[in-house]
Structure 1
């Protein structure tokens, strides 16, 4: 697979790299890290990163201005995206060939080459392995910084079960490069005062059922009260995992036309439930969409049932 990807890259003079909407550190780290590796290894090629910029992650880098003409005869690579609906910038279809690189369970099968490793902690880890195993590929300090950020983000600083021996081997290799890890951590985990206050609201209002499930609804009114945009709440999704008694939890975030659903778990498998509501993801971390608050009640009831069954099976 690595050789197929390398051969495909070497056969195209222009490469455009995409990732999913509302990017996280892994989406951006793998996208911009791969871009930097290819620019350094193949300076004669044009390598572009497509998608919208995210103000919260500008410290990782920014996107390129990509014209429609750029796609003519270009190789398109989509990173960290299980389903086509979530690809940032629909023009990915205009390229001459398509490669999928992802670590999520398969939702949509797409691409002339599909490299999917669900056992990988992150797509950034996969990009590191790809670079390490392709002789002659150049890994700079900047590329190492980006890939390390992606691994840190998707493993929760190596706390999540997806962290493996290979993850630590990749991280060990990447920190040998001279980039400022402390500055990266500061940017990844800094919290504004308004978000800190919203965090307090969440902790004050969370309730835990006997089955071990929890749900936090964040309506437009609540978000407006704290002057927080739904996209700014992503850093809170894992915070309930430290609370004793919680097995799985869900955040409901009201946006303009739908309610975004974010699941997390410490045991019960929740990605199948997400799949029932226009979403998907990993067994312990997934997302979906609800069309109404009535539908969120059904989601919560199903999550409660999943937690109940998990407790029966695991004592």
Structure 2
């Protein structure tokens, strides 16, 4: 971690009265855990701050609401953006109106939109960076902050099974566990599913197409998922039905949402981010996001992915 940037974040939080925390659109648990965990850390260690967490939530969490945020406050605020590689994906339309922007991220750098950019693309999760930053700054980590940060760490690491997990990942996990994470509670909140979610996963898996070269993909639209009455994060679970299958070397979903075709790419061995960048996206080497204009572009995407397989 860059020591100067770590200290700069500490200094800026102390300097500003109003702090806004933003994350990417359609957040996952790493985005939400980073945002809420950081808000908890600021609330507990930097007294008297006004903190807003903007944008969509995965669940019914309503802490640090932003409905009272005014344009006047915005112009005097520090904006901290977590887990968001490029400005286009920030879930906050007015982000450019803030006094200063500090980016904390773990994706490959595609857009240095912050005045300051604390990025570690070797970290499996953004919450890993925030946890180690809190430890370096000797901050108090409450059980609530630890829980929010741990949710991001355990999900983005695939329960510590993904290839990007390193010694710092386990160091962060140890820090959070020492500060009161209830693993049973986290397990229930993250992985207990409604029956309709399991039914959706079975439905989606039955739409799997597997190419001779080992590209597996599922394409779904509103007519597929709307009858299940799911949140978008639950719809995205279709992606994980294809992991852990020997014959599938690269897998992806195309989900039509609000007339956009959102692509999620995964692989055990092949650097799919190279392809994601060609299709309006980016991300990690083995886990990236992209977009296609329409389904007519699907053959081009498949061809580009097949070219990765040697």
Give the secondary structure class of the aligned counterpart of 2:290: strand
The equivalent position to 2:52 in structure 1, one of 48, 51, 54, is 48
Cα offset, 1:271, TM superposition: 1.1
Structure 2 residue 89 is the aligned partner of structure 1 residue 86:
yes
Aligned residue in 1 for 2:134: 131
The equivalent position to 1:266 in structure 2, one of 259, 268, 289, is 268
Q: What is the aligned residue count?
A: 305
Instruction: Structure 1: give runs of 5+ residues left out of the alignment.
Output: none
Q: Describe the shift of the 1:269–1:60 C-alpha distance in structure 2 as closer, same or farther (beyond 3 A).
A: farther
Cα offset, 1:59, TM superposition: 5.3
- Whether the 8 Å contact between 1:60 and 1:146 is mirrored in structure 2 is no
Aligned residue in 2 for 1:4: 8
- Whether the 8 Å contact between 1:73 and 1:95 is mirrored in structure 2 is yes
- Whether the 8 Å contact between 1:51 and 1:63 is mirrored in structure 2 is no
Where in structure 2 are the equivalents of 1:81-230 lying within 5 Å? 81-135=84-138, 137-228=139-230, 230=232
Tell me the TM-score normalised to structure 2 length.
0.92
State which drifts further: 68-77 or 224-233.
Answer: 224-233
Cα offset, 1:192, TM superposition: 2.3
- Whether the 8 Å contact between 1:271 and 1:281 is mirrored in structure 2 is yes
Give the CA RMSD over aligned residues: 1.8
Aligned residue in 2 for 1:71: 74
Aligned residue in 1 for 2:27: 23
State which drifts further: 1-10 or 83-92.
Answer: 1-10
- Whether the 8 Å contact between 1:14 and 1:73 is mirrored in structure 2 is yes
CA distance in 2, matches of 1:12, 1:227: 42
CA distance in 2, matches of 1:252, 1:132: 39
CA distance in 2, matches of 1:217, 1:257: 14
Cα offset, 1:210, TM superposition: 3.2
Instruction: Structure 2: give runs of 5+ residues left out of the alignment.
Output: none
State which drifts further: 73-82 or 42-51.
Answer: 42-51
